[in-house]
Structure 1
Amino acid sequence: MAKIAIGSIGEITKPNCIQALVVEFIVTFFFIFAGVGSAMTTEKLAGNEVVRLLFVALAHALVVGVMISAGFRISGGHLNPAVTIGLCAGGHITVVRSLFYWIDQLLASVAACALLNNTGSYTCSWDGFFTRCYNGDCVDFSLIFTVYATLVDPKKGFLEGLGPLLTGLVVGANIMAGGPFSGASMNPARSFGPALVSGVWTDHWVYWVGPLIGGGLAGLIYENFFIVKTHVPLARDEEAY
């Protein structure tokens, strides 16, 4: 029978716990953002209830698969308090850390829904500008975070070779969640070509600012906080030949 580990409040000060909580917040946030966002999107889509249900189910399937993979090495990618308690019951995570995870997951859910609420309710043009910027920040952050976790991280383990597929899946989930609100363009080049050919530049700057900020932050955070680097001394001059 598995032994349940209680743990201690001091776990919160350990670097690996802090890293795990940060990553668990990120992956849970984007799971909720895409999942709830896709449900909001169905309100803008034509079709019967079955089509809408399938749309939401597909969006959840895509984002869950990607976010679990992206968070697995560092936090386990639980996304769900029920998963956390199940793993706690099996002795895979301490009771204390489980409580930290629960708080983390709930805060991530609230933050994602608060952002989605603003996304779906803006009225004036400046609100629209900033809402689409925030939306672009989020979808591109999730995209680049996935790229780092599944392609760049040298300790990606079982994800080796799956990076391109997982990156494509998170793009699909982001489009399903954010497409009707902002276009969910995660690529300034993708936005620039149509704008130039059509001559329509309305709010075009948003499709540069959002993705560049979101992508830059994701790369900066993952590279500096989650990638474990091994120091390899440089060869001496005489040994370099």
Structure 2
Amino acid sequence: MRAMEPDRHSYISGVLVMEKTKLLYQQMYSGKVFTWIHLMPIFCSSMVRAQIQTNSDSKNLVTHKPTPTSEALSGVTVEPTRKSRSDSERPESLSKDLFTMSNLSVSDPELEKPANGSYSDVYEKYVLPCIAEFLGTAFFIFNGCASVTENTEGTGHLQPALAHGLALGIAVAIFARVSGGHMNPAVSLGAALIGGLNIFLLIPYWAAQLCGGMVGAALAKAITSDVKFFNATGAAFKSIERDEQVGSAIVAEVVMTAYLVMTVCMGTINKKSTTTLAPLCIGLSVTVGILAGGSVSGGCMNPARALGSALVANYWDYHWVYWVGPITGSLIVGLLLRVFIGDQKIRVLMT
């Protein structure tokens, strides 16, 4: 009977480990059904390990000869303790065994993540956002330029305003979780100034947006008849005709771009004011800007929009206004958020 005790101990230990393992993986994968058949390999390996541990401990108890100590000399009996793994160590080792079993169809997504520094990480962090910015800007500017060249007589700025605003809102909603949904060099600059964009991505973002603007304007030209394209000057901004209009046009671009960049930064980056309605608000800010300042400066607010149409139409009169105005407006918003109205993470003063 004494010789059978190790086997009995190993069987009971295996059953206990089996029950703990079953409960552990039912908690980790709720909804999955684990049966004894699925966990049989672990049960067998657990029994073998328990048997080996029991035999080893039995030998240690037999061959161990306690040395005389102060407790022994004083008449106190010291019993040898059996060293075993704690319960907190068992689930970790068992989970490793489970995930290496090829006959089980469970897997942990965290274990399948690529190692840091892999090509997948580089693509996700640096390449994919630039591709999203390129595509989003191309779609946005295509619709915007097409709405200008195909503008119906009598609608004024209403058709371009709605087309630009709706197209931008849709593009932001689609690509916001990939790249932030900027579609505008001025917006990217404002986001970088307040910490919403990695500063090393600013130049790649600008390059992607400018290229997307050129592609979008070229596609708009491809679907427009020569007469309409010529009459609309290729959707280029031609509201400024004299030097006396430059001052008011720059002010209009600064204010309208500041309103747009403020909407983006406060609606998507500033923690206290983020909202799920951000794409709608961003699109509406462009619509409002075109309706308000379309007759003053054209309502550009976007250097990529200005460059694409100017390049396709070869119209460069006062083109610099549509760079100076939006960039200045973006710098003002960055200063305001950093000093006054940003949250504690953004503000550099009174934090």
TM-score tier, shorter chain, comes to 0.3 to 0.5
Q: Which has the larger radius of gyration?
A: 2
- TM-score after normalising by structure 1: 0.43
Name the structure with the higher helix share.
Answer: 1
TM-score by structure 2 length? 0.30
